[in-house]
Amino acid sequence: MISKERGTACITGASRGLGRAMVEAFLKNSNLDVAAVTRSESLSGIPSGSAANRLHTISADITTEAGRAAVYKELERLPELSVLIHNAGALAFRPFAETDDNTLRHIYEVNVFAPYLLTQKLLPLAGRTHIINVSSIGGVQGSLKFGGLSAYSSSKAALNCLTEMWSEEFKDTDTVFNCLALGSVETDMFQEAFPGVSAACTPETMATYIAEFAFSAPSVMKGKVISLSLGNP
């Protein structure tokens, strides 16, 4: 089991929505340092006091080698890497026939290549580490699919498979890989895909669950893709 008392939790896509809620959940419910990776936005409004002193904001574009190196450099000076959450994501709601190569490449760069290459970069820092991929139930085989999300859903399906592959390759180490395939969470990304539709879960509720999952799951599961949804999706 990952300790709540020491180490660092690194969260990508941390500037808003679910990522920001996870930053707050880890600061509130553990004593870990929290490395919040954002592309450009700062994390204003984080509670002051001892919790804020444990927050380290890393401004980096993790789709680039320079950005991934910046994350490594910051984590190298912090307490041991306990939790790594690949939360950064990109979505395009566009019919398959109208999805150009630039859009497709961008979706895969953020949703697949960035977690793949960032995990590679951070392997020297990984020991007793729980690495969590934040996926979508739309990438789970047999779930209800929606037209216009072929690039997004297929990228999340790739992330699901990567979780299983990483777990197999590192099965003899202390590093644990799991994946959470989320249903609807009330974020800007969800509203982009489904304008005007109410999501089933708030970012705060999901973030609290994910933070607890980060600590408890390694003792009972490895390499699992877990669907978290009140519906289908």
- pLDDT given at position 55: 95
- The answer, yes or no, to whether residue 226 has pLDDT greater than 70, is yes
Residue 220: exposed, middle, or buried by beta-carbon count in 10 A (0-12, 13-18, 19+)? exposed
Q: 215 or 190: which carries more pLDDT confidence?
A: 215
pLDDT over threshold 70, residue 131: yes
Q: Tell me how far apart the alpha carbons of residues 100 and 223 are, in angstroms, rounded to a whole number.
A: 33
Position 233 confidence tier, pLDDT thresholds 50, 70, 90: very low
Inform me whether the pLDDT recorded for 231 exceeds 90: no
Q: Give me the pLDDT at residue 49, please.
A: 62
Res 16: pLDDT: 87
Task: Please choose, from the candidates 75, 103, 101, the residue with its C-alpha nearest in 3D space to the C-alpha of residue 7.
Answer: 75
What is 94-125 written as a DSSP string?
Answer: --GGG--HHHHHHHHIIIIIHHHHHHHHHGGG
Q: Which amino acid is at 119?
A: T
Q: Residue 56's CB: how many other CB atoms inside 10 A?
A: 16
The domain segmentation of the chain, as residue ranges, is 8-228
What band does 1 get if pLDDT is binned at 50, 70 and 90? low
- The predicted structure's pLDDT at residue 41: 67
Contact 63, 86 (CB under 8 A): no
The superfamily CATH assigns to domain 8-228 is NAD(P)-binding Rossmann-like Domain (3.40.50.720)
Looking at residues 75-101, what average pLDDT do you find?
Answer: 96
pLDDT tens for residues 17-74? 899 999 999 999 999 999 999 987 667 677 656 577 899 999 999 999 999 999 999 9
Residue 4 — pLDDT band, cuts 50, 70, 90? confident
The total number of residues written for the chain in this structure? 233
pLDDT digits (tens, 9 = 90+) for 145-203: 888 999 999 999 999 999 999 999 999 999 999 999 988 666 777 777 677 767 668 88
Task: Pick the range with the lowest mean pLDDT from 67-81, 115-129, 135-149.
Answer: 135-149
pLDDT band at 232 (very low <50, low <70, confident <90, very high): low
